C-alpha cells in the first residue's frame, strides 16, 4: 500500500532524526515499524513568515518496498550506419536533439564552433585573467553552450513544451545529482555541469554519433527550398539531408548568414538591464528574518524573485544566483556583457541577479528602424559597446552603488565584487538610455518596499545584462521546420523557442521527433 502525503516540518523539527517517518506515522495512525519507507517526491521552503518551514510531498510505503521510481529508461541504438541528421550547435537543444535522434534510430552529426569543456575552461581563464575574448570559445560558445559554465538552473515554466521529468531523469542518467528530481528550484552548479555535459558527449559518440568541435558554420547552399550542403570554416562542404539549427542567442553571425540568403527572420521582444550584487549574508538576513551572518545551517543560501510593473513594461529579476559570482559573457572584443552563475554548494560570499526591463521591439526602438529585423540586435550591440567604453576598455564593467544609481550620483567607491576583471565607477544613471535606466530606478525603490533591506548602498549595480534572450526569431511551421526551407529546423533560445536549459532541451527533443515523422512520411 502506498499513500501520498503533504508534510510540513519546522526548522526545529528538521533536526530530529526520522522526522518524516514520525509525522507520516502520526498522520496515518500507524506505528513507525509498519512503514517500510518514506520517499521524498518534492521539497520546498516556506520562508514567508518568521517561522520557517520545509514543505514535503512524500510517498509512504506501508508493508511493501518502494519500486524503481524512474519513469524513463533510455534505449540508445547503434546509429553508426544510420541516416545522418546535422545539428549546428551543441548547447542544450543540440545535445538533446542528438540524444533523441539516437533513440529514434538516426545518426546525429554535431557541428560546434567552440571547443570541448576542458579546452574551453582555458579560454575562460584567458577572459577573466587576461581580458582576451575568443569569439568561438567563451562563456556562450563551446560544448554545452551558454549553460555549461552557468548555475545549471533547471526551473522552467515551459511545462507544455515537453516532458520536464524526462529531461531531469536524463540529466541524472548522465551524472547529475538525483536531488534535482526533488527540489522545487533545482540546479546542478557550474562546478558539476561540465562533467554531465562530457558524459552526454560520450553517450552520443558511443552509439555512433559524431561531434566536430572548432567547426563554425560559415555558408549554406540552397536549392529547391532545401539546404543541400553546409560550409564549415569557409573551406569544407558537407552534404546534408536535415539540419537542426541550435546555435544559441549569441550567434549573431548565423542570423546574418540566414539574412544574406533571404531566409525569413522576425524581430522579437526581449529584455535588458543590469546585474545587481549584494552580500549573500544580507539576502539571507532579509529572506530568513535573522541577523546578518546568523543563518541557520539547515537553510540553503537564500534567493529572491522580484517583479514590478513600471508604466507598460515589466521589470523583473532574472537568473538569480545565490552564493554565486558574476562573469564576463562577451562573445566579441569591444563589448562588455555580464552574466551570473553559482557553484553547486552556492557558497560564494555574494548573491547576484539580473534585473531587466522588457523591451517592446515594435514600440521602443524607433531610432533603430533602419536596421530592420536586426533593430533589437543593433540596440544590444550599442549598449554592450557603451559598457565596454565606460568600463575602461579592458573588460572592466561599469558599476555604481545601488543607492547612487537610483539617486543619480557618481559612486566615489564601490563595494567588493565577485566579477574578476573588476569594476569601474561610472554614472550608469546617465549612461543607460531612459528606456532602461528610468524604469530600473523606479523598480529598485519598489523592490526596497517589497523586500526591506534590498535597496542599500551595500549593493552594486553592474552593466550590462543584455543576453537574456535573442532579439531575433527564426520562424517555423507546425511541422517545426522553417516556412521557406523545408529541411531547416530552428531550435532553442537562438531561434526564439526556449528560455533556459530545460526548455531548450525539450525543444531539441521535439525537433528530433518532428524530423523522424517527416522522414518516415517521405520513405
Identify the pLDDT of residue 148: 85
The DSSP string of 177-244 is -GGGGTBSS-B--TTTHHHHHHHHHHHHHHTT-EEESS--EEEEEEETTEEEEEEETTTEEEE-S-EE
Q: Domain containing 106 — which CATH number? A: 3.50.50.60
Write out the E strands in 21-76.
35-46, 53-62
Whether 78 is in a domain gets the answer no
Residue 523 pLDDT grade (very low, low, confident, very high; cuts 50, 70, 90): very low
Verify that 363 and 456 share a domain, yes or no: yes
Give domain status of residue 173, yes or no.
Answer: yes
- Decide which of 440, 465, 490 is a domain's last residue: 465
Instruction: Please tell me the least confidently modeled range out of 157-171, 182-196, 387-401.
Output: 157-171
Residues 251 and 379 both lie in one domain = no
Answer whether 174's CB lies under 8 Å from 196's CB: yes
User: Is residue 348 domain-shared with residue 257, that is, in the same domain?
Assistant: no
CA 26 to centroid of chain Cα atoms: 42
Domain co-membership, 295 together with 386: yes
pLDDT at residue 263 in the model: 98
Instruction: Tell me the angle at which helices 117-130 and 193-206 cross, rounded to the nearest 10 degrees.
Output: 150
Cβ neighbors of 387 (< 8 A, separation 6 or more) are: 335, 336, 337, 397, 398, 463, 464
Residue 159 has pLDDT above 60, yes or no: no
Q: Which three cell numbers stand for residue 70?
A: 524512474
**334 and 399 within one domain:** yes
Structurally, the chain folds into a number of domains equal to 3
> Which tens digits make up the pLDDT trace of 320-359?
999 999 999 999 999 999 999 999 999 999 999 999 999 9
Q: What is the pLDDT of residue 155?
A: 73
Q: What is the torsion angle, in degrees rounded to the nearest 10, for the CA atoms of residue 346, residue 348, residue 351 and residue 353?
A: -70
In order of 84, 137, 174, 208, 521, the CA distances from 202 in angstroms are: 18, 20, 10, 10, 31
Could you write out the DSSP letters of every residue in 294-361? ---TTSPPP----EEEETTEEEEEEEEEEEEEEEE--SSTT---EEEE--TT--SSEEEEEEEEEE-T
Give CA–CA dist 255/341, Å, rounded: 27
Q: Which three cell numbers stand for residue 227?
A: 539546404
pTM for the model: 0.95
Read off φ and ψ for residue 204, nearest 5 degrees: -60, -45
Give the span between the Cα atoms of 328 and 337, in whole angstroms. Answer: 6
Task: Let me know the angle formed at the C-alpha of 472 by 469 and 476, rounded to the nearest 5 degrees.
Answer: 110
The larger pLDDT score, comparing residue 278 to residue 49, is at 278
What radius of gyration, in Å, describes the C-alpha atoms of the chain? 24
pLDDT for res 521: 57
Question: Is 380 within 8 Å of 471 (Cβ atoms)?
Answer: yes
Give the 3-state secondary structure of residue 9: strand
Task: For residue 373, give every residue at least 6 positions away whose Cβ sits within 8 Å of its Cβ, in sequence order, or none.
Answer: 259, 265, 266, 267, 472
CA neighbor of 325 nearest in space, from 345, 305, 300, 295? 345
Asked if residue 230 has pLDDT above 70, the reply is yes
For residue 121, tell me if it sits in a domain.
Answer: yes
| Predicted confidence (pLDDT) per residue in 214-226, tens digit | 999 999 999 999 9
Question: Is 128 part of any domain?
Answer: yes
Report the chain's mean pLDDT, rounded to a whole number: 95
CB burial readout 76-92, b (16+ within 10 A) else e: eeebeebebbbbbbbbb
Residue 350, burial from CB neighbour count under 10 angstroms (0-12, 13-18, 19+): buried
Please report the pLDDT score of residue 50 as a whole number.
84
Query: Looking at the predicted structure, is the pLDDT value of residue 240 above 50?
Result: yes
Q: Is residue 140 part of a domain?
A: yes
Q: What's the angle, vertex CA 136, arms to CA 325 and CA 235, rounded to 5?
A: 170
Q: How far is CA 450 from CA 307, 308, 447, in A?
A: 10, 10, 5
Tell whether 367 and 329 lie within a shared domain. yes
- Assess whether 187 and 154 both reside in one domain: yes
Residue 204 lies inside a defined structural domain of this protein: yes
With residues binned 3-state (H G I as helix, E B as strand, rest as coil), the percentages for the chain, rounded to 5, are 35, 25, 40
Residue 170 sits in the same domain as residue 43:
no
Q: What is the average per-residue pLDDT within 385-402? A: 96
Whether residues 10 and 103 fall in one domain: no
Percentage of the chain exceeding pLDDT 90: 91
Q: What is the pLDDT of residue 222?
A: 98
Residues 275 and 243 in one domain: no
For 477-511, how does the pLDDT look when each residue is reduced to its tens digit (9 = 90+)? 999 999 999 999 999 999 999 988 999 999 999 99
- Output the DSSP codes for 491-521: -HHHHTS-SSHHHHHHHHHHHHHHHHHHHHH
| Same domain, residue pair 355 and 489 | no
User: What is d(CA 51, CA 38) in angstroms, rounded to the nearest whole number?
Assistant: 25
Alpha carbons 32 and 34: distance in angstroms, whole number: 5
d(CA 233, CA 227): 17
Q: pLDDT tens-digit profile of 424-475?
A: 999 999 999 999 999 999 999 999 999 999 999 999 999 999 999 999 999 9
Sign of CA dihedral 404, 406, 407, 409: positive
Contact 432, 463 (CB under 8 A): yes
Q: Averaged over 275-286, what is the pLDDT? A: 98
How confident is the model at residue 67, as a pLDDT? 83
The C-alpha atoms of residue 515 and residue 83 are separated, in whole angstroms, by 11
pLDDT digits (tens, 9 = 90+) for 96-152: 999 999 999 999 999 999 999 999 999 999 999 999 999 999 999 999 998 888 767
Residue 319 is part of which domain span?
A: 267-465
Q: What is each CA distance from 280 to 265, 342, 349, in whole angstroms?
A: 42, 12, 5
> Do 290 and 328 lie in a common domain?
yes
Query: In this predicted structure, what is the pLDDT of residue 143?
Result: 96
**What is the rounded end-to-end Cα distance, in angstroms, of the chain?**
49
Amino acid at each position: 500500500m502506498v499513500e501520498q502525503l503533504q508534510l510540513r516540518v519546522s526548522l526545529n523539527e528538521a533536526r530530529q532524526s526520522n522526522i518524516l517517518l514520525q509525522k507520516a506515522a502520526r498522520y496515518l495512525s500507524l506505528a513507525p515499524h509498519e512503514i517500510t519507507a518514506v520517499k521524498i517526491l518534492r521539497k520546498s521552503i516556506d520562508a514567508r513568515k518568521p517561522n520557517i518551514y520545509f514543505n514535503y510531498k512524500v510517498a509512504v510505503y506501508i508493508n511493501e518496498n518502494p519500486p524503481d521510481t524512474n519513469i524513463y529508461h533510455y534505449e540508445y541504438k547503434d546509429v553508426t550506419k544510420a541516416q545522418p541528421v546535422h545539428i549546428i550547435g551543441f548547447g542544450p537543444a543540440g545535445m538533446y536533439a542528438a540524444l533523441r535522434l539516437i533513440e529514434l534510430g538516426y545518426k546525429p552529426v554535431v557541428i560546434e564552433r567552440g571547443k570541448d569543456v576542458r579546452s574551453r575552461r582555458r579560454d575562460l581563464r584567458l577572459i577573466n585573467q587576461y581580458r582576451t575574448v575568443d569569439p568561438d570559445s567563451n562563456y556562450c560558445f563551446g560544448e554545452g553552450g551558454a549553460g555549461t559554465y552557468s548555475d545549471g538552473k533547471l526551473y522552467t515554466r515551459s511545462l507544455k513544451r515537453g516532458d520536464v521529468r524526462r529531461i531531469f531523469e536524463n540529466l541524472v542518467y548522465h551524472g547529475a545529482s538525483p536531488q534535482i528530481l526533488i527540489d522545487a528550484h533545482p540546479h546542478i552548479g557550474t562546478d558539476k555541469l561540465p562533467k554531465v555535459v562530457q558524459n552526454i558527449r560520450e553517450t552520443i559518440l558511443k552509439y555512433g554519433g559524431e561531434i566536430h568541435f572548432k567547426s563554425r558554420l560559415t555558408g549554406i547552399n540552397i536549392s529547391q527550398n532545401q539546404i543541400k550542403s553546409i560550409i564549415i570554416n569557409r573551406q569544407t562542404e558537407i552534404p546534408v539531408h536535415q539540419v537542426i539549427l541550435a546555435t544559441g542567442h549569441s550567434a549573431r553571425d548565423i542570423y546574418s548568414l540566414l539574412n544574406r540568403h533571404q531566409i525569413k527572420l522576425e524581430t522579437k521582444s526581449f529584455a535588458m538591464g543590469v546585474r545587481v550584487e549584494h552580500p549573500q549574508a544580507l539576502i539571507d538576513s532579509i529572506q530568513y528574518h535573522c541577523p546578518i551572518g546568523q543563518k541557520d545551517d539547515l537553510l540553503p543560501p537564500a534567493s529572491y524573485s522580484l517583479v514590478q510593473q513600471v508604466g507598460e513594461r515589466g521589470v523583473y529579476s532574472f537568473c538569480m544566483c545565490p552564493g554565486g559570482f558574476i562573469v564576463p559573457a562577451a562573445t566579441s572584443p569591444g563589448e562588455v556583457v555580464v552574466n551570473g552563475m553559482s557553484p553547486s554548494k552556492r557558497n560564494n560570499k555574494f548573491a547576484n541577479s539580473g534585473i531587466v526591463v522588457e523591451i517592446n521591439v515594435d514600440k521602443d526602438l524607433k531610432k533603430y528602424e533602419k536596421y530592420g529585423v536586426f533593430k533589437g540586435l543593433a540596440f544590444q550591440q550599442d549598449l554592450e559597446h557603451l559598457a565596454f567604453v565606460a568600463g575602461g576598455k579592458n573588460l572592466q564593467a561599469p558599476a555604481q552603488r545601488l543607492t547612487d544609481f537610483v539617486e543619480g550620483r557618481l559612486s566615489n567607491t564601490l563595494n567588493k565584487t565577485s566579477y574578476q576583471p573588476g569594476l569601474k565607477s561610472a554614472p550608469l544613471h546617465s549612461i543607460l538610455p531612459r528606456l532602461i535606466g528610468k524604469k530600473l530606478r523606479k523598480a529598485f525603490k519598489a523592490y526596497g518596499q517589497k523586500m526591506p533591506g534590498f535597496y542599500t548602498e551595500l549593493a552594486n549595480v553592474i552593466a550590462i545584462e543584455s543576453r537574456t534572450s535573442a532579439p531575433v526569431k527564426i520562424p517555423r511551421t507546425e511541422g517545426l521546420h522553417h516556412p521557406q526551407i523545408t529541411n531547416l529546423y530552428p531550435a532553442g533560445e537562438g531561434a526564439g523557442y526556449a528560455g533556459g536549459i530545460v526548455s531548450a532541451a525539450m525543444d531539441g527533443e521535439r525537433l528530433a521527433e518532428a524530423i523522424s515523422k517527416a522522414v518516415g512520411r517521405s520513405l
